[in-house]
Chains A and B, each alone.
Chain A
């Protein structure tokens, strides 16, 4: 029926765009109590006193609790993605004796409603003895550790070496050094984090609604913290308004809400607000790179060496996945014979770093693409030409890039990288910018950046198919949706693999009661994992239905004919059942028609792509505008090109945010965030975004039978480098380098005012 490959609109849309979505905030069972969190006002301080008297006396306050009052759960939160290289630090749900960032939970209020809870939060008196905060990872490397249980401030060192590493630089004709800085980006899903916990005192079971990206992992972490067994807890992720990696694990508030629900035997709700998002939800990017590239005079890369610092913030909720992925992704789609990356992960008195769309991929791409631009400039070579020389060619693929993976080397599959790049270069009319292009005060420039999107490739995911009484087929999976359109795309796969109409399927996600095991939605994995599990489950499920029908018809299964939801005995048209009729029989006879399959990842998929952008810079105001944006992207076999395009554009917009707008500014002396509202922290908005022209190419992924690739993070990888390149190109008479993100009119003004022109 070929649903795979169709630009189908989402089955989710009607509900979501007409306001029928049901989010955590919409769920308030009768008798619910609400949490208010008392958060640290200091980046680094000793807590020398807590006084709850006034808060407790406020009408409507049920309780106020500090760490001593919640002793049973005052242990570190479970470490996400543990790693032998990591000197982990995980927070307790409330800070004990010391706070390590502005916003760290210090005490918790339970009240009849959120208004009273916030009144009480104001009345809690916390006495602090301020300590000197560490706000710079480079200076922080040798500073006194912010955590008392450690003798170093370095959380980890990430090291990779390919070939002879840095020593190969001596064989290069030229070595170009670059310092690159990426700002601290706050993820900002449209829906802030939130949780509702309902404890049933009779069964002692806990029902939890949380906007999490992985219900099973969330449940397991809660179980660990509450010392309950997993099967006593059901976690449901209802409609969730964006996640981007920030909602992949439990946070302090989740433990506080669930524990207090058990203890008080009342439903507990915490609906985080935007200010709490700014002060408590994991943040990202925030790295400084000291990178070198050694090249031959003909442009060939000899070696790439990058020493970088990850400003980790106070804790390691997701281990070192961000700096590790950064290092792994630097080489990208290029042939780099010698490579070395050393990433120092340094604790600072800021909100913790955890994965946010890209999780290091954008940083790695930024490093490589900027190095190539700088190298081309130093060699007097065209910036696209140096890329063409170094991109892996079809005859070099598959290519082992030397990064260890599963006991061997990471292997890049077949692709036609030059062809992809050339297509975009032609579409943007790159050659039209060889001579400066001006429109009055506006100087135009073009920038090109390539990327290699690494997706999926870890763990398992399942698909559990079940024939419902009405003849529809339910597919349950452990992933969960934060707006991606899984219910549409997974049904497209199932419809094709079962040769049934798309409308026959109901996809159920985000509920531990729906399927026994699951991992979740992150790392662009759901179509690769659940998509393949669905395809893999289809033959077994069909066999199960046919066997049951054969029993009913008293025929052999191989004599049955399966045609668009009707099962017919071949040659006997009167012996025919629709799936609804089959289901009715099954219900009558107490037969469950169900089949599950779990797909195990073999390796990550790799999709190469190119972005090209034209920017205009106004040399009177230094305004930067995007005038044209072209993308070519390899998403493997595309299940739904419309959704892929949405993912690509959405990621690109967030990349443009990192490139031009977003940066949480932390006062270096006090550690206070200075722009933690949407008035001052600039998200990219519709008015500033161009129309995007997206072209897809499809190189099937060899690691999974369906050939799917993840597509959610490609968009966010190259915009930073492409925009920096385009701004430099536009302002070529000034000969500036744009290596600090975000690039702003203010910075261009200061860089150019004493410049060449």
Chain B
């Protein structure tokens, strides 16, 4: 379990990274927290010729809140541990903090990064899941310039994304949580810190009567990537009690078709997905009602 030999480059500027990525293309891999890349290298499942270490690049670090656009910008190098502790994230995207608690163990959370988790695209990872529910946008750069991409357009399947070899995720933008909104993540794993067998995230907004007006739900671990659940979202419009939530969550059943694997049967994952979705919606709703009452 030693990696094949590679050339290690410690980048000093973002520009340098982008130029190297253009030059080396698929032969290069970007090293951020290394929590997925290092095992892949050590097991020789990945054998890139170049490793570009982006740790410490100021252009990819930091958390900003823009009151004008009501948008939170989180640098791609933000560690999971910072997601748990940062006051701006706690204030404007608490779902991200809540999700980070489920990510691996202390050592993993200390090193792993938001951008790394998104780029790795594990179908059961928590951060892609909640960014999907929150409607996050990725800031992607290359030597050709910068563009933004809604996260829903990013994932292509198991560990596959639309990110080109010469591109780099530098930040994630998340719309601030509207008032009268609530959020939640629920997941089921065999052990604490494992990837979830199934997970769900929900963000719901309620009107003054406590009826859901909009919902953005996402499911993880049950498809080749984190998915939005339009039928669940639709079914939740006008919902206000647990039976409605359960019924909405059951919309998932025909929407997903997870395969059997060594950890669980597809049927069990489907069952768990519905259960997790029910729980996430219930908690998100309760929080939205709490917010509404706090505002009143």
Are A688 and B268 interface neighbours, CB within 8 A? Answer: no
Partner among B4, B190, B263, B264 whose Cβ is within 8 Å of the Cβ of A122 = B4
The B interface is mostly helix, strand or loop, or mixed, namely: loop
Are B262 and A674 interface neighbours, CB within 8 A? Answer: yes
A687 at the interface (CB under 8 A from B): yes
Which B residues are CB-close (under 8 A) to A675? 262-263
Which A residues are CB-close (under 8 A) to B264? 745-746
Q: How far apart are the CA atoms of A744 and B191 in the complex, in Å?
A: 12
Are A745 and B192 interface neighbours, CB within 8 A? Answer: no
Q: How far apart are the CA atoms of A618 and B248 in the complex, in Å?
A: 22
With known contacts A114-B2, A115-B3, A115-B5, A685–B191 Cβ distance under 8 A: yes
With known contacts A661-B190, A682-B191, A746-B263, A274–B5 Cβ distance under 8 A: no
With known contacts A114-B2, A687-B193, A275–B43 Cβ distance under 8 A: yes
A273 at the interface (CB under 8 A from B): yes
Which 4 A-B pairs rank lowest in CB-CB distance, beginning with the nearest? A687-B192, A273-B1, A115-B2, A749-B268
Q: How far apart are the CA atoms of A518 and B193 in the complex, in Å?
A: 44
Are A623 and B188 interface neighbours, CB within 8 A? Answer: yes
Nearest-neighbour CB distance to chain B for A289, whole angstroms, equals: 24
Nearest-neighbour CB distance to chain A for B14, whole angstroms, equals: 31
For the complex, count residues of B whose C-beta is within 8 A of A.
23
**B1-35 interface code vs A (CB 8 A; 1 in, 0 out):** 11111000000000000000000000000000000
Nearest-neighbour CB distance to chain A for B269, whole angstroms, equals: 9
A620 at the interface (CB under 8 A from B): yes
For the complex, count residues of A whose C-beta is within 8 A of B.
29
Nearest-neighbour CB distance to chain B for A27, whole angstroms, equals: 18
Q: How far apart are the CA atoms of A621 and B197 in the complex, in Å?
A: 11
Are A688 and B5 interface neighbours, CB within 8 A? Answer: no
B49 at the interface (CB under 8 A from A): no
Q: How far apart are the CA atoms of A274 and B2 in the complex, in Å?
A: 11
Which B residues are CB-close (under 8 A) to A677? 43
**A665-684 interface code vs B (CB 8 A; 1 in, 0 out):** 10000000011010110100
Q: How far apart are the CA atoms of A411 and B106 in the complex, in Å?
A: 51
Q: How far apart are the CA atoms of A661 and B194 in the complex, in Å?
A: 13
Are B192 and A118 interface neighbours, CB within 8 A? Answer: no
Q: Which residue of B lies closest to A748 (CB)?
A: B268
Nearest-neighbour CB distance to chain B for A486, whole angstroms, equals: 31
Are B268 and A746 interface neighbours, CB within 8 A? Answer: yes
8 pairs, CB–CB < 8 Å, chain A vs chain B? A274-B1, A275-B43, A622-B268, A687-B192, A687-B193, A688-B192, A746-B263, A749-B271
Q: Which residue of A lies closest to B272 (CB)?
A: A621
Partner among A119, A674, A687 whose Cβ is within 8 Å of the Cβ of B191 = A687
Which B residues are CB-close (under 8 A) to A679? 195
Which A residues are CB-close (under 8 A) to B263? 675, 680, 746
A588 at the interface (CB under 8 A from B): no
Are B43 and A750 interface neighbours, CB within 8 A? Answer: no
Q: How far apart are the CA atoms of A732 and B96 in the complex, in Å?
A: 40
Which A residues are CB-close (under 8 A) to B271? 749, 753
Which B residues are CB-close (under 8 A) to A745? 188, 190, 264, 268
Nearest-neighbour CB distance to chain B for A291, whole angstroms, equals: 28
B44 at the interface (CB under 8 A from A): yes
Which B residues are CB-close (under 8 A) to A687? 191-193
Partner among A119, A665, A749 whose Cβ is within 8 Å of the Cβ of B4 = A119
- Highest count of chain B CB atoms <10 Å: which of A115, A273, A749: A749
**B257-275 interface code vs A (CB 8 A; 1 in, 0 out):** 0000011110110011001
Which B residues are CB-close (under 8 A) to A753? 271
Q: How far apart are the CA atoms of A687 and B192 in the complex, in Å?
A: 6
With known contacts A115-B2, A115-B5, A746-B265, A620–B275 Cβ distance under 8 A: yes
Q: How far apart are the CA atoms of A396 and B63 in the complex, in Å?
A: 74
Nearest-neighbour CB distance to chain B for A273, whole angstroms, equals: 4
Partner among A118, A621, A682 whose Cβ is within 8 Å of the Cβ of B2 = A118
Partner among A119, A661, A665, A750 whose Cβ is within 8 Å of the Cβ of B268 = A750
Which B residues are CB-close (under 8 A) to A680? 262-263
Are B190 and A682 interface neighbours, CB within 8 A? Answer: yes
Q: How far apart are the CA atoms of A685 and B188 in the complex, in Å?
A: 16
Q: How far apart are the CA atoms of A115 and B6 in the complex, in Å?
A: 11
Q: How far apart are the CA atoms of A682 and B191 in the complex, in Å?
A: 8
Nearest-neighbour CB distance to chain B for A573, whole angstroms, equals: 61
**A100-129 interface code vs B (CB 8 A; 1 in, 0 out):** 000000000000001100110010000000
Are A122 and B1 interface neighbours, CB within 8 A? Answer: no
Q: How far apart are the CA atoms of A675 and B195 in the complex, in Å?
A: 14
**B172-184 interface code vs A (CB 8 A; 1 in, 0 out):** 0000000000000
Which A residues are CB-close (under 8 A) to B1? 118, 273-275
Q: How far apart are the CA atoms of A744 and B267 in the complex, in Å?
A: 14
**B34-46 interface code vs A (CB 8 A; 1 in, 0 out):** 0000000001100
Which A residues are CB-close (under 8 A) to B192? 685, 687-688
**B151-193 interface code vs A (CB 8 A; 1 in, 0 out):** 0000000000000000000000000000000000000101111
Which A residues are CB-close (under 8 A) to B2? 114-115, 118
Q: How far apart are the CA atoms of A372 and B43 in the complex, in Å?
A: 46
Nearest-neighbour CB distance to chain B for A459, whole angstroms, equals: 37
**Within residues 731 to 750 of chain A, which ones have a CB less than 8 A from any CB in chain B?**
744-746, 749-750
Nearest-neighbour CB distance to chain B for A280, whole angstroms, equals: 13
Q: How far apart are the CA atoms of A54 and B4 in the complex, in Å?
A: 16
Given A665-B262, A675-B263, A687-B191, 8 more A-B residue pairs with CB atoms under 8 Å apart are A122-B44, A274-B1, A661-B190, A685-B193, A745-B188, A746-B264, A746-B268, A749-B268
Are B272 and A750 interface neighbours, CB within 8 A? Answer: no
Q: How far apart are the CA atoms of A620 and B271 in the complex, in Å?
A: 9
